[in-house]
Amino acid sequence: MALLASLLFGASLIEQIPLASLVGVMFMVVVGTFAWSSFRIINKVPRTDYFVLFVVSAVTIWQDLAIAVITGVIISTLVFAWKNAPMIRARKRIKDDGTKVYEIWGSLFFGAVHTFNSKFDVKNDPDQIEIDFVESKVSDHSGIEALTNLVEKYADAGKSVTLKHLSPECKTLLLKANPGLDAIIETSIGDPRYHVVTDMMDAEV
């Protein structure tokens, strides 16, 4: 509150302070607030974290703190996407009626689209396909587009796709982008994980 009041009502007084004095004060603030202890654990943290630390510190000196923070956020986001892109997985099985089920694990976002597409074999798959999202979610527009394109590829091959266990948020995103997907989204089933929890509670009772 004191800082805000100084900026709003004491600007004319602050302008009278010599710039050299403010530079000295800011230098001492930097010395006091910098996490010097981070140098002791520099060999124990991931290299990407060290890289972000170095870049943010360099950009702060070169430009200013605001640009450095934005740069750090962008780099951290890209690193997160790079690390999590390969984590999307698909467990495959065939049901008694010949339907092939793809159980998707991991988040479907822009960084995971290529890996997601590589899990499916449109040409050799049977006529009935189920894509189960019980352990996955569609996170952004790139994921929506990838799923929509996949459904269209199966349709062009004369095969039908059913989407199961989509969360309400994912369903809203998909239908907003492509209302026609409502015909292949199965909503009359529950989350199988809930049945496991229920059985465990009944056993305990």
Digit-coded pLDDT (tens) for 44-78: 767 777 788 788 888 887 887 788 888 888 888 78
The CATH number assigned to the domain holding 182 equals 3.30.750.24
* 77 and 174 co-located in one domain: no
Identity of residue 97: D
Same domain, 77 and 161: no
Structural domain count, the chain:
2
Tokens of 181: 């997907």
What CA–CA distance (Å, rounded) separates 15 from 10? 9
Q: Sort 125 into a burial class: Cβ within 10 Å, 0-12 / 13-18 / 19+.
A: middle
Is there a domain that residue 17 lies in? no
184 is a domain residue: yes
Task: Give per-residue pLDDT as tens, 104-151.
Answer: 988 888 888 888 999 999 999 999 999 999 888 888 888 889 999 999
Structural domain includes residue 27: no
- Both 55 and 132 in one domain: the answer is no
Q: What domain range is 51 assigned to?
A: 38-84
152 and 61 in one domain? no
pLDDT of residue 201: 34
Q: Pick from 134, 99, 105: which is nearest to 119 by CA?
A: 105
Distance in angstroms (rounded) separating the CA atoms of residues 148 and 170: 13
